Amino acid sequence: MAPIRTAIIGLSGNAITSWASAAHLPYLLSARGREKYQIVALCNSSVEAAKRAIEVFKLPPETKAYGDPQSVADDKDIDLVVVSTRVDVHHSSALPSVKAGKDVFVEWPLAQDVAHAKELVDAARAAGGRTLVGHQGREAPPVVKVRQLIEQGTIGKILSSEVRAYGGAVDRESLRPGLKYFLEKKVGGNIVTIGVGHLFDQIQHVIGDLQNIQPHLQLQRPNVLLRDSATKEVVEVVKSDVPDLIIFNGNLAESQKAVEGANVLFRFRRGQAFPGEPGLTWAINGEKGEIRLQAFSGATLHANSYDAPVTIEVHDFATDKVEKVDWSWQEWQEALPVVGRSIAVLYDKFADGPFEGQPTFETALVRHEQLETILAGWDPK
């Protein structure tokens, strides 16, 4: 099979955030990735910017440079369009190619709000292209392992689950100036949609979708310092309108995995954990036992929470013994940067056709609707 001809929108040579280059590019340029994909075009804010990025990342000189998403959509020699931009331009960057019937991969969040996400879903349904969304945490080995344990009936049916997490930003009081938009709810990219949104999807991918979500939100630190990364000096103090403590509970429908009404309690606080406490503790209590996952360097299992151990333990109620469950990366993943390993699995599977658990525009819309429920009525005043 010929490699999938791929265009990337947002691979910038001087971007404030470098997710496209850090997470997407390593796989696409690896020997394994090149067997399945060929980067044939870049699109940035201008043709000149795209040409600079082609040079910076040493892409073949014949790589096309575009300065607007419509030009990408009009190119008949592009099969797949990858959108890795700031969230408030995901919709405008992706929509032309979606309407053109191309396959489109958009980073999570799919769009800045439910309305824009739904437009992308409807356009994809009408045009018939395949879709993929960056909920790569579904493929993170610890998440895969916990899902396997649940499906194997290791702890019986789920009775309840509790999630306690920290993150969304490196520091509780400050951000880099380039991430100022994290403090503006209207932009759509913040700790609720991104930090909570990724983990929220992983949890539900394992235990099932939540119903009857009841949120409790607080903005504990409304005045956020924008601190220069190099000098550590505060360049601005910004008032946030995004909650930094997100608590909600919901329940599960009866299924092969869970009893009717199994309660799920979720707590996420912006910034660091108490010293020595894991950045993520996720417990799943079942009829026959309990699973506990702990990630000691943060809650971003989809990215870089692997500097410290990520452990999985199972308490068997019958024997009262606790056993550690091992997990591992696939051998080929270990050649890639950690932040790119799970997203590489999405690419790898997508190239071979539809796959079980594939995160699509439609599954992303469900998560957007859930998050909108959590944020509904939120008023920081």
120-159 pLDDT tens trace: 999 999 999 999 999 999 999 999 999 999 999 999 999 9
- Residue 14, pLDDT above cutoff 80: no
Q: How far is CA 155 from CA 290, 297, 314, 358, 376, in A?
A: 6, 26, 8, 26, 35
Domain containing 83: what range?
A: 4-133
The verdict on residue 10 lying in a domain is yes
Average pLDDT, rounded, for the chain: 95
- Residue 101, pLDDT above cutoff 50: yes
- Residue 169, pLDDT above cutoff 90: no
The verdict on residue 344 lying in a domain is no
- Tokens 């913040």 -> residue: 190
> How confident is residue 17, by pLDDT bands cut at 50, 70 and 90?
low
- The per-residue DSSP string of 143-177 comes to HHHHHHHHHTTTT-SEEEEEEEEEESSSSSSEE-G
pLDDT at 380: 79
- Residues 136, 22: Cα–Cα separation, whole Å: 14
SS3 of residue 82 by DSSP: strand
Q: Which two tokens stand for residue 328?
A: 């591992």
Helical residues (DSSP H) of the chain, grouped into ranges: 19, 25-28, 31-36, 47-56, 69-74, 90-99, 114-127, 141-151, 197-207, 338-351, 361-375
Whether residues 102 and 160 share a domain: the answer is no
Residues 225-233: what's their mean pLDDT?
91
- Residue 378, pLDDT above cutoff 90: no
Residue after which a domain boundary falls, among 111, 133, 155: 133
For position 58, which CATH number holds?
3.40.50.720
Residues 70-80: what's their mean pLDDT?
98
Domains identified in the chain, total number: 2
- Residues 280, 335: Cα–Cα separation, whole Å: 26
Q: Tell me: the pLDDT tens digits for 276-289? A: 999 999 999 999 99
Portion of the chain with pLDDT greater than 70, in percent? 99
SS3 of residue 80 by DSSP: strand
- Residues 225, 176: Cα–Cα separation, whole Å: 8
Whether residues 47 and 122 share a domain: the answer is yes
pLDDT at 16: 46
Q: Tell me: the pLDDT tens digits for 32-60? A: 999 999 999 999 999 999 999 999 999 99
The verdict on residue 316 lying in a domain is yes
Whether residues 156 and 275 share a domain: the answer is yes
Angle 114-127/90-99 helices, nearest 10 degrees?
20
> How confident is residue 15, by pLDDT bands cut at 50, 70 and 90?
low
- Residues 381, 19: Cα–Cα separation, whole Å: 33
- Residue 211, pLDDT above cutoff 80: yes
Q: Which two tokens stand for residue 185?
A: 């709810």
- Residue 312, pLDDT above cutoff 70: yes
